[in-house]
Structure formats: structure tokens, C-alpha cells
Amino acid sequence: MQMQDVTTKTRARRRDALPAHLTYHDDGCEAAPRCLACPLPRCRYEEPNGIRTVKVRERAADIRALEREGLTNDSVMARLGISRRTLYRTLKVTR
């Protein structure tokens, strides 16, 4: 009886598993031309608000890196080409 339970478990398939004999198209998104070549750490379709959330996080990381270099807010805004409002809004959302 023990042997049968183990065999059943190893043969069980996930309900959401995709069939192996189908060809899937990798069309990518606006972040990358192909999903397998995507630079994002997590798929934009898995993020709440999609690519917008990803872009805000990237912008926040850029802002923080420039602040660590000692740049002022005005210098950060000029370097990234963003407004003061965008700078503060990005920092508020990510803190």
C-alpha cells in the first residue's frame, strides 16, 4: 500500500501544467522583445499595475543611486529629465 501511494504522487500532474507537444509563441512585451531575454527580475504581468510599477521601481533605484553619489534634488531632476513632483512622488511611493 505504501508503494502505491508513492507511485501515485510521482505520476500526479499539476492542473495548470502546459502540454509539452505544443509550440508557444514568445512575443515578449514593451520591456523586452522576448520573455526569455527580459531584463526584469519579475514579469510585468505578475506585478500589480504592470509595467508602470516596474518603471517606478527602476526610476526610484536611479534616484537613490544619484543621491548616494551626493547629487542634489535639482541635479537629479536635470540628469533624469523629471520634474520635482515626479521626484518626490517616486520617493514617497518607494519608501
Give 24-73 pLDDT, tens digit per residue: 788 888 888 998 888 888 888 888 888 888 888 889 999 999 999 999 99
Nearest-5° Cα angle at 36, 32 to 39: 50
pLDDT number for residue 60: 92
Q: Nearest-5° angle of CA 42, CA 94, CA 41?
A: 15
**What are the residue boundaries of the structural domains of the chain, listed by start?**
21-94
Query: How wide is the angle at C-alpha 53 spanned by C-alphas 49 and 59, nearest 5°?
Result: 160
Q: Residue 9 pLDDT > 60, yes or no?
A: no
- Residue (of 62, 51, 49) closest to 90 by Cα position: 62
Among candidates 94, 85, 64, which has minimal Cα distance to 76?
Answer: 64
pLDDT at 3 over 60: no
Threshold 0.85, pTM exceeds: no
